[in-house]
Structure 1
Amino acid sequence: MTGYVILNIAIMLVLLFLLFYMQRKHVSFTKRVFTALGLGIIFGLLLQAFYGAQSEEIVKSADWFSIVGSGYVKFLQMIVMPLVFVSIVSAFTKLKLTSNIGKISVLILGILIGTTAIAAAVGISSALIFDLEAVQIEQGDAESARADQLEETFGTIKDQTFPQQILELIPSNPFLDLTGARPTSTISVVIFAAFIGIAYLGIRRKQPEQAEFFAKIIDTLYSITMRIVTLILRLTPYGILAIMAKTVALSDFDSIIKLGKFVGASYVALIIMFLIHLLLLSLGGLNPLTYLRKAFPVLSFAFTSRTSAGALPLNIETQKKLGVPDGIANFAGSFGLSIGQNGCAGIYPAMLAVMIAPTVGIDPLTPSFIATLILVVAISSFGVAGVGGGATFAAIIVLSTMNLPIALAGLLISVEPLIDMGRTALNVSGSMTSGILTSRVIGDLDSDTYKDTSIKIEAEA
C-alpha cells in the first residue's frame, strides 16, 4: 500500500468522523445524507483531478472505500427477506390485509405497469427530440464485449415463454427463496407470506388460542426486525459518502463528455417521469413537496448505490412515514423490485429501441411503431420479473420482441453506470408512488402522517 493510498483512506476516515460528529450533534438525518452526497462527489472529483482516471492509487483506495459503501449495501440486503416476510405476515395478524389483499395487489400492479407505459412514451419522446441514433456512437472493445455478453444472455432466456416467466414467481421452495437465491425470490417470499397470513386467518376462526400465540411470535419478530432496520439505516450517510466517492473517482469522464447527448437525453426523460410521479400525487390530493422532503434519503441512496433491492428497507420505512400501512408498503416495495420499473424497464428500453430502429430501416416516427413499442414495454415490464428484472433483461426482451438487434444495446456501456443511477432512483420513486396512491384509493392512507413534516425516518432517533 502506497503513501498516497494511506492518505486517501485517512481523508475518508476524517469525512466519516465529520458525519459521526454531525450525528452526535443531532443534525437531521436528511441533512446528513445531503452532506454525505456532496462530500462524496467533491472527494471523488478531487481524487480524479489529482491522480487521473483509473490510476492505481484510485483503484486501491476505492477498494478500501468499499468496506464502508458495499458493506452498507450488504447489510441492507441482509435484512430484505426477513423484513418482507415478517412485515406482510404481521399485516395479516394485525387485521390490515384481511379483505383488500386482491384489490391492493391489482392496484399496485396496475399503477406500476401503467406508469411504466407512460415512462416508455417519455423515453420515446426524449430520444426523438434529441435525435438519438445508434450509428452516432463509436463501437470500441468495451462495446463489442458488452454486445457479446448480451447475445449470450439472450441465449439463456429466448426460449422462455411469458407463462413460464409468470410461473417463476410462484415459490416451489420458499426456504430457498428466503435466501434470495433466485431473481424472483422477493416476490416469491411475498406470495409465501400472504399464504401464511391467509392460513392464520383460518386458524383464528377455528383455534383462536393458537392464532393468538402465533400473532405474539410474529409481533416479537417484527419488533426485532424493525430494530435491526433502524440500526442499519443509521449507517446511511456513511454508506452514501463512500459509495459516491468511489463512483465519481472511477467514472470515465471522457466517455461521459463524448456521449453527453445520450446522457443528457436520458436524464431529461428521467426527470420528466419523476415530475409525472409528483403530478400523480398532486392529482391524488397530496402535497408533492412533502413527498420530496421525506423521500430524499431513500432516493439519494438509490441514486448512489444503484440497487433497488438494497433500498427496499429504506423504501418501506419512507412509505410508512408518508402514511402508508405496513402491508401495502411491503407489497409496493417488493413488487417494484421486479415489476413495472419506470427507469430500467420503461424509459431505457424504449429509448434504445428508438435509437436502434433506423439501423434496420425502421422509421421510429411511425405511429404503429410507437404504439407497439409502448405496449411491448408495458407488458414486458411485468414479464421481466420472470427473468430477473433490471435494465439489461428489459432491453433484451423489448428489442427481441420488436425484432431489433440486441447487440447494439451495449453501445452505451461506458456511461451505463451514470445513467443507471438515475434509473434506479426513478424505479424506487415509482414503487413508493404506487404504494401511496393505492393507499389513497382504498382509503387507508393516514393523511395526518403524510402531512406531518415533523415525522422523520426512524434512523434519526
Structure 2
Amino acid sequence: MKSKDHHYIPNPREFTHEIAEETKILRQGITNGITRIYYPLDFRRNYSLKNMSNQLRDLLEKKLWLKILISMMLGVFFGLFLGPFGGYIDPASAEIIGEWVALPGYIFLGLLKMIVVPLVFASIILGVASSQSMSALKKTGLSTAIYFVITTAIATAIGIGMALYIHPGQYISGDLIESAMGSEVQVESTGLSFDHSILTIPSSLIGSLLPSNPLGAMANGEMLQVVIIAIIIGVALVSLNKDQSTPMVNFLNSLQAVCMIVVKWSMSLAPIAVFGLLTK
C-alpha cells in the first residue's frame, strides 16, 4: 500500500499507452461523427445486407419527403412502362390498370377534400376564440379580419373592373367554344354589352362574402365564405361568458383533433397516392 505522504509517479510506459488509447478513442469518435453527418447510410463500410436494410428503413420512416420522391420516380417509370412509349401492354388494358393503380390517389384526394373545410373552420374559430377579452381581440383578430375583407374586396373590384374593361370572350366565336367543350353550350352574340351599374357591386360583393346558408357554403367548399363564418363565430364566442362558450370550444377542439388524425392517415397514404396518380 502506497503512503499518502509520497506522490504517485506513474510508469512512463503506462502513461504513454493511456495517452495513445485516449487519442485513438477521440479520433474514432470524430470519424464516426463526420461519417454520420456526410454518410447517413455509410455505404463505405462493409455492413451486412440486413444492417443496410435496417438503416434504409429507419431513414424512410423519418423522411416522408423521401418516400414521396421515390414514389414519384417509380410512378413515372411504371407509367412509361404501361403507356404507348413502352408498348408492352395494349392501351385498353393499360387504362384499366392505371385506373386501379390510381385508386389510392383518389382516396388520398378525397380525404383531403373531405377534411379541409372542418379543419379550417375549427382552427380559425379556436384561433379567434383564444383571445381572453374583446379588447385583445380588437387589437389582433378584428384588425386581421378587416384587413382580410378589405384586400379581398379590392381584389374583387379589380377583377370586375378588368372584366368590364377587357370584355373577356368577346372575340371568341360560339362554335369554337362549343367544339372545345364537347357539348352544347349556349353562347350569346359576341357583341356583349355590360350595362350593369357600378352601384350593384357592393350588394353582389356582400352576397358573395356572407352566405345566406352557412351549411351550403361548407357543402360547396366555398372557402372564403367558410373563413368569414368562422371569424364571426369566433368573435361571438369571445363575447360570451366562459360557461356558455366552453362546450362549443371543447367540441371544436375535439373536431380539430379528429381532423388532424385523418390528415395523419392521409399523409401515410401520400407515397402510394403519388405513385398511383403519376402512373395514371
The alignment's TM-score, normalised by the length of structure 1, stands at: 0.36
The corresponding residue for 2:265 is: 231
The corresponding residue for 1:98 is: 137
Q: Distance in 2 between matches of 1:165 and 1:152?
A: 26
Query: SS at the partner of 1:215?
Result: helix
Residue deviations 1:281-337 (CA, integer Å, cap 9, x gap): xxxxxxxxxxxxxxxxxxxxxxxxxxxxxxxxxxxxxxxxxxxxxxxxxxxxxxxxx
The corresponding residue for 2:204 is: 164
Q: Distance in 2 between matches of 1:176 and 1:90?
A: 22
The answer as to 2:235 corresponding to 1:195 is no
The corresponding residue for 2:213 is: 173
Checking the alignment, whether the CA contact within 8 Å between 1:90 and 1:219 is kept in structure 2 is yes
Structure with higher RCO (Cα < 8 A, 6+ apart): 2
Cα distance change of structure 1 residues 148 and 244 upon mapping to structure 2, 3 Å threshold? closer
Q: Which runs of structure 2 are paired with 1:216-227 in the superposition (5 Å)?
A: 216-227=250-261
Q: Which runs of structure 2 are paired with 1:116-135 in the superposition (5 Å)?
A: none
Query: SS at the partner of 1:50?
Result: coil
Checking the alignment, whether the CA contact within 8 Å between 2:104 and 2:269 is kept in structure 1 is no
Cα distance change of structure 1 residues 25 and 31 upon mapping to structure 2, 3 Å threshold? closer
Checking the alignment, whether the CA contact within 8 Å between 1:41 and 1:244 is kept in structure 2 is yes
The corresponding residue for 1:87 is: 123
Cα distance change of structure 1 residues 198 and 102 upon mapping to structure 2, 3 Å threshold? closer
Which amino acid letter does the alignment assign opposite residue 231 of structure 1? W
Q: Distance in 2 between matches of 1:105 and 1:154?
A: 40
The answer as to 2:57 corresponding to 1:29 is no
Match of 2:97 among 37, 49, 61: 61
Checking the alignment, whether the CA contact within 8 Å between 2:60 and 2:66 is kept in structure 1 is no
Query: SS at the partner of 2:137?
Result: coil
Match of 1:47 among 82, 86, 90: 82
Checking the alignment, whether the CA contact within 8 Å between 2:68 and 2:274 is kept in structure 1 is yes
Which amino acid letter does the alignment assign opposite residue 67 of structure 2? R
The alignment's TM-score, normalised by the length of structure 2, stands at: 0.56
The corresponding residue for 1:422 is: none
Q: Distance in 2 between matches of 1:154 and 1:169?
A: 29
The corresponding residue for 1:186 is: 223
Structure 2: gaps of 5 or more residues: 1-55, 159-174
Q: Which runs of structure 2 are paired with 1:223-372 in the superposition (5 Å)?
A: 223-246=257-280
Aligned-pair CA distance for 1:166: 5.0
Cα distance change of structure 1 residues 108 and 234 upon mapping to structure 2, 3 Å threshold? farther
Query: SS at the partner of 2:66?
Result: helix
Cα distance change of structure 1 residues 233 and 45 upon mapping to structure 2, 3 Å threshold? same
Query: SS at the partner of 2:275?
Result: helix
Residue deviations 1:87-146 (CA, integer Å, cap 9, x gap): 1111122229923234334655749988xx9xxxxxxxxxxxxxxxxxxxxxxx998622
Q: Which runs of structure 2 are paired with 1:424-443 in the superposition (5 Å)?
A: none
Which amino acid letter does the alignment assign opposite residue 80 of structure 2? L
Checking the alignment, whether the CA contact within 8 Å between 1:40 and 1:241 is kept in structure 2 is yes
Structure 1: gaps of 5 or more residues: 1-20, 118-140, 247-461
Cα distance change of structure 1 residues 234 and 51 upon mapping to structure 2, 3 Å threshold? same
Rg larger for: 2
Q: Distance in 2 between matches of 1:201 and 1:40?
A: 49
